[in-house]
Chains A and B, each alone.
Chain A
Amino acid sequence: MILTFAQTSLIPLWIIIGYLVLLLGLGVISSKFFKGTAADYFVVSRSVGSFLLLMSVFGTTMTGFALVGSTGEAFAKGIGVYGLMASWSGLVHSGVFFLVGIRLWAVGKRNGYMTQCEYFSDRFESRSLGYLLFAILVLLLIPYLLVGVIASGRFLQATTAGMFPETFAMTLPNGNPHPLTGALPLWLGSLVVCGVVLGYVFFGGLRGAVWANTFQTIVFMVTGVIAFYLIAQKFGGLQAATAKLLASENAERTARGSQMGSAQFLTYCFVPLSVGMFPHLFQHWLTARSAKSFRLTVVAHPIFIAIVWVPCILIGVWAAGLFADGGLRLPKNPDGTPISNAVLGAMINQLVHSNVLSGLVGAGVLAAIMSSLDSQFVCIGTMFTNDIVVRLAGRDRFTDTQKIWISRAFILTIVGVTYGLAVYMMGDDRRSQSVFALGVWCFSGFAALFPLVFAAVYWRRTTRAGALACVLVTTAVWSVLFYRDIFAEKAPGSEDEKLIFGMMPVAIIFAASAVTLVVVSLITRPLSTATIDKFFDPLETN
């Protein structure tokens, strides 16, 4: 897949290099504050205040899709993409932070938890559940990580096309120069991104990720707004830009029309529930200094989503108008359809003609990608250390220093394995495409497990058997629908899930998960009173 057209100025690359160096510097500074304890490495000594929590949680939740994908989706499907993905997320994410996040923070603080699996295995008196969830959560996270690593390599390749024509020359099978000739190869771009993320999380742990995320969130929010302003100016203003779209054959992008169905629009509400089961977000919640630290996150999150998404949606639909009139050139898929992920880069390159803005937006996209990758790497390292090594060897077997080094070894291994897998996947377009399709399904998997976490914090009657059955049924239904999706016929270039009766598949999996949990819990033996007392405030009626 090709993202942008070639350019030869090295300015964008220098800006991106400067940005990556700044990130590494931030990692070095954050590591100076490291207190040497496991709690500090894994959950920042539960000391993160309101602002850092807001920025780190927002940065972790938003991936590169928030800039590049949202613009491309709006180009292809119109303004309805905002209501489908962004406004649902604003309502649902904050609801999950308020209703679930605060309670998990409280339980985590009382019992010293650092991972989701520790919590669930204690909550349901079941080590088996902990191990089962560990396997499922790691399996769901790996494609998510791969998507980030591959996307960063692709983005750097597209941004640097034409910069090194002799060192990285590429030709097409017919002998002509490849459109990406002279670009950093995929393996090198991904290696640089993995190296930088590893650099700031290896020594600083989650503190490094929190600090870096805060900086990266500011960067991708600001660059999005700057790009929007400059693109609008080139059109002759906001009104002129939309007028051009309305006058084009793509005017239907200004409404939802037939571009998405009402059942899909409604059932998309299940997808943002995934934040309730993301293990990396669970770990970020535990970093909060107090429950009050959540307040700003809960209130500002929907507004932050709007600040990032609205400019990108407008750029996307304006691009559709421009493209219809032949005013925008886009690289094409093998079937001749335009590659929608190339829209943002093309709008900047062909309208604004600014190498500085190209570099800034490049840094912004990488910021969005890396702000998710870092937390995921730390999270998997934390889970391996606490849920496998410490649990098998015994809680008091290792000192904190040993735990931190075990975790660092795991983080290093995971980054290496992820990078190796990414390079293997990038070697073949079909393999690479399948990772992106799988990445979309990962969100459905996390979202479908939401009934488990919601019941765990609110319903005392939830039983061990109910929890286990819920996880197993979710896995089974997810696997069946995923298998069905692999063989489904889709629109060329589409990575979306195949709808079921017009609904998002997650709605079906979620329903199966919730019904199983409730029914099995009601017919099996309740948990001991001691366990219930440990996880519920006795002053709170249920």
Chain B
Amino acid sequence: MKSRRHSTVWWVIWCCAIVLFVVHQDFWYWNDRSLVFGFLPIGLAYHVGFSIAAALLWLMAVKFAWPTHIEEWADRNDAASQPRSEGRE
């Protein structure tokens, strides 16, 4: 069962993912040829930043919304699980 805190974190992560999805469409830099650090076109720099933001989003998901119950479920032997032989020579 998900705790209230866990559910809240999930919502925050989903909201961040949606925001990232929306801001990927950076029409504001579509025709902008200016440079960052004197060599990196701003449209490219923005999307490098986007990649870093994506990594941070998934870091947050891994840290605060890790599906511990899935891991426990995978290790649990119960009537519903039907493990097959994995070692018959």
Contacts and interface: CB of A to CB of B under 8 A. Distances in A.
Interface of A: 35-40, 45, 79-80, 82-83, 86-88, 90-91, 94-95, 98, 102-103, 105-107, 109-112, 237-239, 241-242, 246, 251-252, 254-257, 262, 265-266, 269, 290-292, 295, 298-303, 305-306, 310, 313-314, 317, 395, 399-401, 530, 533-534, 537-541
Top-6 shortest CB links A-B = A112-B84, A106-B74, A39-B86, A238-B39, A254-B41, A537-B73
B89 A299 contact: no
Contact of B50 (A87, A262, A317): A87
A304 B88 CA distance: 39
Contacts of B57: 91
Contacts of B58: 94-95, 98, 298-299, 301-302
Given A399-B88, A399-B89, A91 B20 contact: yes
Contact of B24 (A39, A91, A291, A299): A91
10 contacts: A45-B86, A90-B51, A95-B58, A109-B74, A111-B81, A255-B43, A262-B25, A300-B55, A317-B41, A541-B2
A87 B70 contact: no
B24 A295 contact: no
A37 B25 CA distance: 49
Nearest to B44: A79
A256 B26 CA distance: 10
A541 B54 contact: no
Contact of A80 (B20, B43, B50, B74): B43
Q: Which of A35, A36, A80, A302 neighbours the largest number of chain B CB atoms within 10 Å of its CB?
A: A302
Instruction: Among B48, B58, B84, B87, find the residue whose CB has the most chain A CB atoms closer than 10 A.
Output: B58
Interface in B36-63: 37-41, 43-44, 46-48, 50-52, 54-55, 57-59, 61-62
A44 to B, nearest CB: 11
Contact of B51 (A87, A237, A255, A400): A87
Contacts of A83: 24, 26, 43-44, 46-47, 50
A90 B78 CA distance: 37
Contacts of A251: 33
Q: Contact residue range for chain B?
A: 35 or more
A257 B41 CA distance: 13
B73 A106 contact: yes
B73 A539 contact: yes
A390 B31 CA distance: 57
Contact of B44 (A82, A265, A539): A82
Contacts of A256: 29-31, 43
Contact of A255 (B32, B83, B85): B32
A37 B87 contact: yes
Contacts of A399: 88-89
Contact of A303 (B24, B30, B55, B61): B55
Contacts of A111: 81-84
Nearest to B70: A106
A172 B38 CA distance: 46
Contacts of B17: 91, 95
Contacts of A86: 47, 51
A295 B58 CA distance: 9
A269 B70 contact: no
A90 B55 contact: yes
Given A86-B47, A90-B54, A91-B24, 7 more contacts: A39-B87, A109-B74, A110-B83, A111-B83, A111-B84, A256-B43, A295-B62
